[in-house]
Amino acid sequence: MTSTGGKEVASTQIRERIPIEKGWFWKRQFAGNSTEPQLVFDVAFGLVAPVLCFFFDPTIFKGGLIGPPILQPYQLFAYAVTSLELTLLAVSMIFGSRLGAWSRVIGGALLSGSVFSAVIGVAILPYSIMGLMVAIGLLGFIPFVTAFVYLRVGWRALKREQKTPAGSMVVGLLLGVVLSLGLPGLVSLYISNSASHSVDAILHGDPKQAQNAVGHLRWLPFVPQQDLEPIVQAYENEQDPERKEILKNSYQALTGEDLEVRLRILND
């Protein structure tokens, strides 16, 4: 009887543990405190991997491995959003509960960044699948992993401040969306307009104006490649040797590349 009773108790305990173990993995992912392996994972795929993807980008924003970059028109905005998300992720991981009410704003921004990263992953998914044949397509799945990191860290940050009213969670989420998408949008719009005016000065101005325009562009934090393509096109069509030299020198000063090499790449 004792042996039978012991088996029944053990069987009951196993049955009681099964539902817990089924949800154990996901519960741990979004628990209040991160584990050391989670921290390493978040640093690797939330901070390091996105930077490496942008640096070694072969097809998406700046590369030309299979033709024109797929999402080149959105390059500046994507870089601005990612730069902000990387900063907020690092701040949340370093300061944690010391952020106070700001934790919910940062959490909302990270959740918004999670959606943005997932959208990028979906947009390039067909190319990522095709790229698996040459292994480079594995980079195309990084946005999904990064989206998970933003989701996990953002959810923890959003839930961290318990002393404020529940309604402030919604406010924090909305402010986070404005911060993570609105601010980069304004910055990218300013840089794009400023770059466009400076490129016009290079294309149509005298040597002094072109020199000043180059100096202004070099002060900008980033100039998308597509904003410089008109210089390449103008160089190809220009007949005046002096103007061609101005265009060539301006392009090299801005990119460090030989304009004629870039022209051959575009015409291939």
pLDDT at 19: 42
According to the 3-state scheme, what is the secondary structure of the chain? CHHHHHHHHHHHHHHHHHHHHHHHHHHHHCCCCCCHHHHHHHHHHHHHHHHHHHHCCCCCCCCCCCCCCCCHHHHHHHHHHHHHHHHHHHHHHHHHHHHCCHHHHHHHHHHHHHHHHHHHHHHCHHHHHHHHHHCHHHHHHHHHHHHHHHHHHHHHHHHHCCCCCCHHHHHHHHHHHHHHHHHHHHHHHHHHHHHHHHHHHHHHCCHHHHHHHHHHHHHCCCCCHHHHHHHHHHHHHCCCHHHHHHHHHHHHHHHCCCHHHHHHHHHC
Q: Is residue 16 part of a domain?
A: no
> Under a CB-based contact definition with an 8 Å cutoff, are residues 253 and 218 in contact?
yes
**pLDDT band at 163, cuts 50/70/90?**
low
pLDDT at 113: 95
Q: Tens of pLDDT along 207-253? A: 899 999 999 998 888 888 788 889 988 988 888 888 889 998 999 88
The answer to whether residue 89 scores a pLDDT higher than 90 is yes
Two structure tokens written together for 133: 């044949």
Q: Is residue 23 part of a domain?
A: no
Q: Is residue 25 part of a domain?
A: no
- Buried/exposed 197-223: b ≥16 CB within 10 Å, e otherwise: ebbebbbeeeeeebbebbeebeeeeeb
The answer to whether residue 144 scores a pLDDT higher than 70 is yes
**pLDDT band at 96, cuts 50/70/90?**
confident
Q: Tens of pLDDT along 19-55? A: 434 456 666 677 667 788 889 999 999 999 999 888 8
pLDDT at 12: 41
Q: Is residue 26 part of a domain?
A: no
Q: Is residue 144 part of a domain?
A: yes
pLDDT at 142: 92
User: Which of the given ranges, 58-67, 116-125, 130-139, 226-235, has the highest pLDDT on average?
Assistant: 116-125
What type of residue is 152? R
63 or 82: whose pLDDT is higher? 82
User: The domain containing residue 63 runs over which residues?
Assistant: 35-267
The answer to whether residue 261 scores a pLDDT higher than 60 is yes
Distance CA 79, CA 252 (A): 23
What type of residue is 24? W
Q: Tens of pLDDT along 170-208? A: 888 888 889 999 999 999 899 889 999 999 999 988 889
Q: Which range is least confidently modeled, 63-67, 68-72, 112-116?
A: 63-67
Q: Compute the chain's Rg from CA coordinates.
A: 25
Q: Is residue 245 part of a domain?
A: yes
pLDDT (mean) for 99-116: 90
Q: Is residue 7 part of a domain?
A: no
Output the CA torsion sign for 110, 112, 115, 116: negative
pLDDT at 268: 66
pLDDT at 164: 55
Q: Is residue 20 part of a domain?
A: no
> Under a CB-based contact definition with an 8 Å cutoff, are residues 148 and 213 in contact?
no
Q: Measured over all CA atoms, what is the biggest interatomic distance in the chain, rounded to whole angstroms?
A: 104
Q: What's the number of domains the chain is made of?
A: 1
Distance CA 156, CA 163 (A): 15
**pLDDT band at 7, cuts 50/70/90?**
very low
